[in-house]
Each structure stands twice: as structure tokens, then as C-alpha cells.
Amino acid sequence: MSRLVRTLAATIVSALAATSAFAQGAAPNDAQIAGIVVAANQVDIDAGKLAEQRASSADVKAFGKQMVTDHTAVNKSAVDLANKLKLKPEDSDTAQSLKKGGTDNVANLKTLKGAAFDKAYVDHEVAYHQAVIDALDKTLVPNAKNAELKALLEKARPAFVAHLEHAKSLQSKLGGK
């Protein structure tokens, strides 16, 4: 089972790493960046909602709830800014594969219970947040043209870093790697 988790985490990581493919040829434009941000947040909101319902440890449940709150808030800011800038979030291969990775992760989590669920969810959260931070630093922030969009991405970063640290501490409590 943990092999499957690793595969799923790898899917998300490679989806986000694919954003660096943009860097070589066509960099993502602002509309695509907005689309990637919305997709990335939605993926973690969906997983968080499931964890709120199904996690067995109170700490993991609380973490899931926190992910829903924070990523919903970040998404609201992103959508508000996109509306203000008349920027319609645009689909891209990266956004597509993020959504696919998210759907696969949720489908996998739904087959798990108890401690196995908690571990799979938290392992995925660690990989996911690390990948999002890398994508922000290497692709999204450097390619954002609009100053307000760039500022929003930079402003979201500390929350993702705090989530990563929190997920890692849960991972070690759960006896993960």
C-alpha cells in the first residue's frame, strides 16, 4: 500500500515538476499560473476534507481541517485577484495533472482506514507541500508577470512552509520515514 502512496505522491511531484518544463520553452503565462494555483489549492482542500472525516488521530484530523481553512483562504485571494485583474484562470497540462494526481490520491485514501489512512494522508501532504514550494520558487514566482500576482504567490509561501513543517512533525509522530 505504501508503494501506491509513493507512486501517487510521485505523480503529484512530477506534475508540479512539469511546471519547470515551461521554463525551458514557453513559460506559463499569468492565466496559466492562476489556473495552477487554483488547482493546487483545490487538491489539498479535497484531501483535507476527507481527512477531517476519516482520520483516526485527532492531530491528523485537526491538520486536515487546517488545510481546508488555509487553502480555501489562499484560493479566495487568488480568485479575487484574478477577477480584479480580469485574468481568467487557464487550464494547462500542469493543472490537469495536478487535478488527476489529487483525484487518484483521494481515491486511494478512500480505500484506507485507521492508522493506514493517517500515514498515507500525511506522507502525501509532506510530498505535496514540498513540491508546491519548489514549483513556487522555480517556476511560478519567476514567471509571474503581473506584480500583484507575483506578490500573492510570495505571500502564500510562508503558509505552505508552515504546513510542510507541521506535516513533517506529524509524519515523525506517526512513525513515518
Partner 1 sequence: MRRAASVAAALLALVVGGTTQAAGAAGPAASGAAGTHTVVMENLRFMPETIEIRRGDTVVWVNRDLVPHTATAQGRFDSGNVAPQASWKHVFASAGTLPYICRYHPTMKGQVIVR
Our finding on whether 173 is near partner 1 (CB under 8 A) is no
Our finding on whether 70 is near partner 1 (CB under 8 A) is yes
Q: Is 175 helix (H, G, I), strand (E, B) or coil?
A: coil
Our finding on whether 60 is near partner 1 (CB under 8 A) is no
d(CA 168, CA 13): 16
Question: What are the Cα distances from residue 35, in Å, to 65, 66, 113, 125?
Answer: 23, 22, 32, 20
Sign of CA dihedral 36, 37, 38, 40: positive
Q: Which residues 106-165 are close enough to bind partner 1 by CB under 8 A?
A: 147, 150-152, 154-156, 158-159, 161-162, 165
Q: Which residues 76-95 are close enough to bind partner 1 by CB under 8 A?
A: 77
CB 153 to partner 1: min, Å: 10
Residues making contact with partner 1 (CB under 8 A): 66, 69-70, 73-74, 77, 147, 150-152, 154-156, 158-159, 161-162, 165-166
